Amino acid sequence: AKAKGLGTDAVFLPDNSIMYPPTYQTYINVQNLSKNLCGISRPKHFQGVATVVLKLFNIVQPDVAIFGEKDFQQLAIIRQMTKDLNLQIKIIGMPIVREEDGLAMSSRNRYLSKEQRQIAFSIPKALSNAKKAIFNNPIQVKDLQNLIKETLHSSIKIDYIKICDPTTLEDLTKLQLPALIALAVYIENTRLIDNCIIRPLA
């Protein structure tokens, strides 16, 4: 009903038995882009993502596919897979949509209590502070990571805070722009990700 109200013409919802029958054996691995960021703590995650997305592409045969930039690594992997396998599909990245308090919209936000939402506000605040720091004074990568860590609420458990090349997703040892600032954290059992790309001033 929600999809229809937004002007959706059709929804394709195959179940696991259709997508992965008992005899299934084939998986897609986008090697280098899968190694860093979420790939460190979730080493097989993007293999599953790339596989199911390719299967859906083959079944639906779209001309255009849209993915959110909140999961920047996923978007980069899908773009690389599409390029490497010569798929005639235009991949479009959509900017992060944020709640009124700045928290990136996510289905996982519903698991946060009112108090946890207040804690989560420190995530976009940390990214904003990092961006300001980059343009205010020269800053080292390690110092930038520490600034983000210090801005995050003390109860937040950090999975990673990374400053990366937005094309290769490799860690930057020296800050250069454009740069991807990406983080993954836990508020109790809820895992949240967020990022921003810092580009040179025009």
pLDDT at residue 97 in the model = 98
Number of domains in the chain: 2
Expressed as residue numbers, the domain containing 133 is 107-198
The residue out of 94, 122, 150 marking a domain boundary is 94
Residues 140-152: what's their mean pLDDT?
Answer: 98
The CATH number given to whatever domain includes residue 65 is: 3.40.50.620
> 112 and 90, same structural domain?
no
Domain assignment present for residue 100? The answer is no
Residues 17 and 83 in one domain: yes
Would you put residue 180 in left (φ > 0), alpha (ψ -120 to 50) or beta?
Answer: beta
Backbone angles phi, psi at 180, to 5 degrees: -100, 125
ω into residue 178 within 30 of 0, thus cis?
yes
- Assigned domain for 177 exists: yes
**Does any domain span residue 164?**
yes
Residue 111: pLDDT above 80? yes
Question: Do both 161 and 129 map to the same domain?
Answer: yes
Confidence band of 65 (pLDDT split at 50, 70, 90): very high
Distance CA 71, CA 193 (A): 7
Assigned domain for 102 exists: no
User: Which of the four pLDDT bands, split at 50, 70 and 90, describes residue 78?
Assistant: very high
Q: How far apart, in whole angstroms, are the C-alpha atoms of residue 96 and residue 69?
A: 6
Do residue 124 and residue 84 come from a single domain? no
Residue 22 lies in a domain: yes
* pLDDT at residue number 137: 87
pLDDT at residue 157 greater than cutoff 90 = yes
pLDDT score, position 128: 97
Distance of CA 99 to the CA centre of its chain: 17
Whichever domain contains 168, its CATH number is 3.30.1300.10
pLDDT higher than 90, residue 4: no
Regarding whether 134 and 89 lie in a shared domain, the answer is: no
Average pLDDT of the residues in 93-110: 97
Does a structural domain hold residue 186? yes
Residue 59: pLDDT over 90: yes
**Within a domain: residue 14?**
yes
Let me know if residue 175 belongs to a domain: yes
Whether 62 shows a pLDDT value over 80: the answer reads: yes
